[in-house]
Amino acid sequence: MKITEYINGIQNNNRLILSKAITLIESSLIKDQELAIELIDQCLNYKSQSIRIGISGTPGVGKSTFIEALGLYLIKQKHKIAILTIDPSSTISKGSILGDKTRMQKLSNNELAFIRPSPNNGQLGGVHNRTKDVITLCEAAGYDIILIETVGVGQSEMSVQLMTDLFLYLTLTENGDDLQFIKKGVLELSDIIVVNKMDLNRQKAKQVKFNLENHLHITGNKKQHVFTCSALKKINIQKIWNQIESIFNTKWNNNN
């Protein structure tokens, strides 16, 4: 394909061409890399402002369920959503192992949502080295909210935080004893912390939220927000989004 074909397809919300463009920039072939550089340079002229949200959490915390619940809510608000999921790579095929797209079937079938799982190619940190360029393509395609889900391996959070407007971390009421998980450094990077699966034990979730808020108040150097949530039951999704908007608007106004 020619550059003009990529650009026209991206601007006309052709998700197939957007997927092909992402495949191009993720390619390790020299001829593809040269075309990819030109494509990114062109897309910088067409990109729109978006809210970039990094989302992480330990395996099994319900990241995909949370992202789908948030995405479906945002689509009802007429937003256009791009979801970039960074999967661990197979050591044999180098492809994605988790395949998060299969766990977001309602979003996958919605024309206002674009989901792209990308293998991390074995890189430490769980972030593909082209993730920032993929964001540029999505912004050129008019996606105004971009969610970036990491594999939750621990090293990825700093990389994701640097390329997003805010960072959201998901945890559970049963992630070991309270002291064990409040000491994790990732909490210091987070703007919002969500205790998911509150429907399984509401009292425990409230206690964990209380402990986290106390800990962050004592040790934190920035304002952080803690919510309980049930992504499965769609509980507190709107409250979390309202807080995301508030944080973004404050940062945007301070930078302009």
> Would you state the pLDDT for residue 98?
45
Strand 113-119 to 51-57 pairing: unpaired
> Would you state the pLDDT for residue 77?
95
- Any idea what DSSP says for residue 130? T
- Answer whether 236's CB lies under 8 Å from 229's CB: yes
CB atoms within 10 A of CB 105: 11
> Would you state the pLDDT for residue 211?
87
Name the nearest CA neighbour of 148 among 187, 106, 120. Answer: 120
pLDDT along the chain (256 residues), means of 10: 94 93 91 93 93 88 93 96 74 44 78 83 51 93 93 62 88 63 67 94 92 78 87 96 95 78
> Would you state the pLDDT for residue 83?
95
Cα separation, 38 vs 187, whole angstroms = 38
> Would you state the pLDDT for residue 158?
67
> Would you state the pLDDT for residue 28?
84
Quote the tokens at residue 89.
């790579």
Cα separation, 56 vs 255, whole angstroms = 25
DSSP string over 199-224:
GG-HHHHHHHHHHHHHHHHHH-SS--
Phi, psi angles (nearest 5°) of residue 113: -125, 140
- Any idea what DSSP says for residue 172? -
CA atoms within 13 A on the CB side of 176: 7
- Answer whether 56's CB lies under 8 Å from 166's CB: no
> Would you state the pLDDT for residue 97?
40
Name the nearest CA neighbour of 212 among 192, 229, 230, 231. Answer: 192
| Region of residue 164 (left: phi > 0; alpha: psi -120 to 50; beta: else) | beta
> Would you state the pLDDT for residue 87?
63
Name the nearest CA neighbour of 151 among 117, 174, 177. Answer: 117
Cα separation, 201 vs 172, whole angstroms = 10
- Answer whether 51's CB lies under 8 Å from 66's CB: no
Cα separation, 60 vs 64, whole angstroms = 9
> Would you state the pLDDT for residue 91?
39
